[in-house]
Amino acid sequence: MSEVERRIINRLQLGVPLTPDPYGDLALELGLWVRELLDALSSLLDRGILSRFGPMFQAERLGGALTLAALAVPEADFERVAEVVNAFPEVAHNYRREHHYNMWFVIACDRPGRVASVIEAITEATGLEVINLPKEEEFHVHLHLPV
């Protein structure tokens, strides 16, 4: 990863300016041309260094729902199950944990009743029981992971 890419990632973790020209403002702040910034973002996404770049929405405020879910996946089957789970458009992100429940993922749906049906579909598709871990209380934690 280049030094410019590191600076872009570190800056983006602080948020994107809510201005008429957010990319122009970011580029100016970073000492880049807008095209350099956009090309770097595309490259980071294409290379899988960034898995997604976009806004984060509070699903509940938009009439939807989300939940954290977990699976206990046999090690030999982990990659196959990850592909199956990630194929669901409702799966926002998926990550591996060192725990009996070694696959954790977020399910985000356009309406509250859909969460249960997506969990059921993932259970059916994987043959594994999905553990539903719905949010009980929301905390806003500023997370910044310097690269």
pLDDT tens-digit map of 85-114 = 999 999 978 899 999 999 999 999 998 889
Structure tokens at 70: 């977990």
- For each of the domains in the chain, give its residue range(s) and CATH number, in order of start: 3-46 (no CATH), 59-133 (3.30.70.3460)
**Orientation angle between helical segments 3-12 and 34-46, nearest 10 degrees:** 90
Alpha carbons 52 and 70: distance in angstroms, whole number: 21
Query: Which pLDDT belongs to residue 123?
Result: 98
Query: Which pLDDT belongs to residue 136?
Result: 85
Give which of 134, 141, 137 is closest to 68, Cα–Cα.
134
The low-confidence residues of the chain, meaning pLDDT below 50, are none
Alpha carbons 85 and 126: distance in angstroms, whole number: 8
Query: Which pLDDT belongs to residue 80?
Result: 96
